[in-house]
Structure 1
Amino acid sequence: MAVAALGTWAWLLLCQGFFWRTDVRLPHRTAPDRAASRGGRPGRAEPERWPPVAVVVPARDEAGVLPRSLPSLLAQKYPGRAEVFLVDDGSTDGTGALARALADGHPGGLPLTVDSPGEPEPGWTGKLWAVRHGMALARDRTDAEYLLLTDADIAHDPDSLRDLVSAARTGGLELVSQMARLRVASGWERLLVPAFVYFFGQLFPFRRVNRPSARTAAAAGGCMLLRTDAAVRERLPDSIRQAVIDDVTLARAVKRGGSGRIWLGLADGVASVRPYDGLRELWRMVARSAYAQLRHSPAVLIGTVAGLVLVYLVPPATALAGAATGNWAAAAAGGAAWAVMTATYVPMLRYYRQPPWLALTLPLTAALYLLMTVDSAVQHHRGRGAAWKGRTYP
């Protein structure tokens, strides 16, 4: 078992798209102001024309985070025309009224429209129903060439929209997505949040996603810049209206239906302000979609559990058991696998500004994610799967 785990980690280290690296970021623009602020680092040229953009923000009961996120969108320093459409998805906490008040408090910012589509029709998830309504408003009121789909808990640096459009325009990309930097403040966030992004990158290596010839496709739903004509071509979001994991499903549709040119990377200027102070909130966030990622297949669930045990739990178990019983071959193989596992996690911890020693806790974190995945399957078979903010989807 120790040798099998070591062989698996050798393959992951070298053959899984270098998933553990954290240098897949948007290149810096070469505009004079940015070049000076970055010490003259090389980057890409800016587009000759800045296309109009519509920013669509689905929001359901987001009054707690809007004061830290929405003003950052209204304050975007974008050279072209841009407008924000916040879609209030049946909120009961005054989300829509708060959004209007925040816009009134930021005169001179991007124009804001707040509207509500009512309850979703059968067969639609609430978020995609809200996105559909926001995209329809954008079509009616603007001639936007790009749509920025961003969650209500995401705060953007002032140049975020400019950077996204510049990358899409100069790179000929149909979809540009950034994995927002999630909040890491509480103890549970330190234990679980960096690993969430680490596991996502292991499932969907960014370098493979960004290779047009590769089949791997993924996006991060908190920040997705989508060409409008690609959305029309793929009938988005109508064609994916039942998707619980809507961002990955959207990316697959765009990549397979067009040129294959999409991009996904880690963010420098896009961050989530949503707090996850306790284990319960993080557990629900993962469990609501984990079984959907496994296509609701018991066989795939069994294989996933076995894989998680082999990859993350066997190395420390065999290293410690081998040392305790004098089986030094098992201890060496298990220890080597644990060392590779730990080393691949350190770059993500550095990205989140966490101490490297936390990499030693990755087996414990993986065990928690294993339990979340099993719980996701249990809740699904009890008819409570994919439950989020008062809604449960079949």
Structure 2
Amino acid sequence: MTALVTALAWTVAGIVGGLTAHAGLNAARWLRRPPNRATVREPVAVLLPLRDEADRVTPCLRALLAQRGVPELEIVVLDDGSTDGTAQVVRAVAGDDPRVRLLSGAPPPAGWLGKPYACQQLADRAGPAATALVFVDADVVLAPHAVAAAVATLRTASATLLSPYPRIVTGSAAERLVQPLLQWLWLTFLPLRAMERSARPSLAAAGGQFLVLDRAGYRRAGGHAAVRDRVLEDIELARAVKRAGGRIALADGSTLADCRMYRSWSELRDGYGKSLWAAFGPAAGATAVILLLLLLYAVPPVLAVVAAFGGARTAALGGLTGYLLGVAGRLVSARATGGRGWPDVLAHPVSVVLLGWLTVRSYHLRRRGRLSWRGRPVR
């Protein structure tokens, strides 16, 4: 039995070591880094969908108004049925700035979810001259050069869609445990160079907080109408772009944008609840993925402690090695994307366990038809 446990511990450590090395290769060689400064001469439309964002839209909109390096910039804001005075806040912040247009959104028709329909309305109403579309969420605060640098990177990459992942800002302990997993997962498990080169729609990733698209390519992909009923409309839009013959790219957006997605445990829990079932697909596949993640990242420290107390030193060393390699992978991700390092990375096994619980909860709520977001059911 001891020999079997030892073999398992070192096998897991070897796999985790390989994944950490892959994350390091992605970060060092394949992750795109936008320029510190850029100027773009093409017309750009920044599109901002809002639903009950009165308490957080001000810094976002002020950052948009402070953009540099984009002489032909328009900012189109859509108030999607807010009941908290969001439109009034937008008017107060924008004043009489001619670059800003505030639209009143229509309720989503049958077959549409709220955010895809809001984004489609924005894209339809963007000025006809705009050749690049930049979708931004209200919880994102852009650096003054962000739009110009992101559009320049889109063109340099010869891409149809660019996803510059913002720096994740966290406050509570729950946020610090869960939120960094977003970048860690794609940096560890997604081959970035192969993703860019491959035409396979299944090999795609994107973050809807900050998306940059070539407008003509967006139209060829069908726009948000192509993902009208998708909870993860960002990833599905990236897949639609690939199906239409376009190219997608990821970039480290930590110098371009900050994003605090959730401000409480209940927001985080419900936000992941509405989407994790869609991220993992069928329940059987999700079960296999979560069990594998637990085996690779949660079991090693437990095994190390149990084996040490049982006198199985070699097995304990294998478990400790696997744990430390997992921590190293989380640290690589944090360093590459502007996230928190020590001491947060030491709790990586707890993060993975919490992700597993959130995933199980998401599937449970979906089966019972209890998923909702911002007052709208998610079906």
**Aligned AA (2:72):** R
Q: Is the 8 A contact 1:176 1:263 kept in 2?
A: yes
**Aligned AA (1:346):** L
The yes-or-no answer on 1:124 pairing with 2:112 is yes
Structure 1 residues 303 and 20: CA distance shift in structure 2, 3 A = farther
CA–CA distance in structure 2, aligned partners of residues 261 and 393 of structure 1 = 27
The yes-or-no answer on 1:3 pairing with 2:10 is yes
The yes-or-no answer on 1:74 pairing with 2:65 is yes
- How far has the Cα of 1:110 moved from its partner? 6.0
5+ long unaligned stretches in structure 2: 1-7
**Structure 2 equivalent of residue 377 of structure 1:** 363
- Which of 99, 110, 114 is the aligned partner of 1:111? 99
- How far has the Cα of 1:190 moved from its partner? 2.4
Q: Is the 8 A contact 1:191 1:361 kept in 2?
A: yes
**Aligned AA (2:270):** R
Q: Is the 8 A contact 1:20 1:344 kept in 2?
A: no
Structure 1 residues 212 and 308: CA distance shift in structure 2, 3 A = closer
**Aligned AA (2:377):** T
Q: What root-mean-square deviation, in Å, do the aligned CA atoms of Structure 1 and Structure 2 show?
A: 2.4
Q: Is the 8 A contact 1:319 1:333 kept in 2?
A: yes
Query: Structure 1, residues 265-319: CA drift from partner, whole Å, max 9, x if none?
Result: 342121125552x322222222211111122x22112212311221112111111
Q: How many residues align?
A: 370
5+ long unaligned stretches in structure 1: 35-45
Structure 1 residues 156 and 375: CA distance shift in structure 2, 3 A = same
**Structure 1 equivalent of residue 344 of structure 2:** 358
Q: Which structure carries more relative contact order (alpha carbon 8 Å, separation 6+)? A: 2
Query: Structure 1 length as normaliser, TM-score?
Result: 0.86
CA–CA distance in structure 2, aligned partners of residues 199 and 170 of structure 1 = 26
Aligned partner of residue 270 in structure 1, secondary structure: strand
The yes-or-no answer on 1:314 pairing with 2:299 is yes
- Which of 274, 277, 302 is the aligned partner of 2:287? 302
For residues 109-258 of structure 1, the aligned pairs below 5 Å read 111-138=99-126, 141-212=127-198, 216-258=203-245
**Structure 2 equivalent of residue 40 of structure 1:** none
**Aligned AA (1:190):** R
Q: Is the 8 A contact 1:69 1:273 kept in 2?
A: no
- How far has the Cα of 1:67 moved from its partner? 1.1
Query: Structure 2 length as normaliser, TM-score?
Result: 0.90
- How far has the Cα of 1:16 moved from its partner? 6.4
CA–CA distance in structure 1, aligned partners of residues 258 and 113 of structure 2 = 24
Structure 1 residues 205 and 181: CA distance shift in structure 2, 3 A = farther
| Of 297-306 and 376-385, the range deviating more from structure 2 | 297-306
Structure 1 residues 266 and 201: CA distance shift in structure 2, 3 A = farther
Query: Structure 1, residues 47-84: CA drift from partner, whole Å, max 9, x if none?
Result: 7x611111111110000101111111122113331111
For residues 80-95 of structure 1, the aligned pairs below 5 Å read 80-95=71-86
Aligned partner of residue 113 in structure 1, secondary structure: strand
CA–CA distance in structure 1, aligned partners of residues 148 and 313 of structure 2 = 56
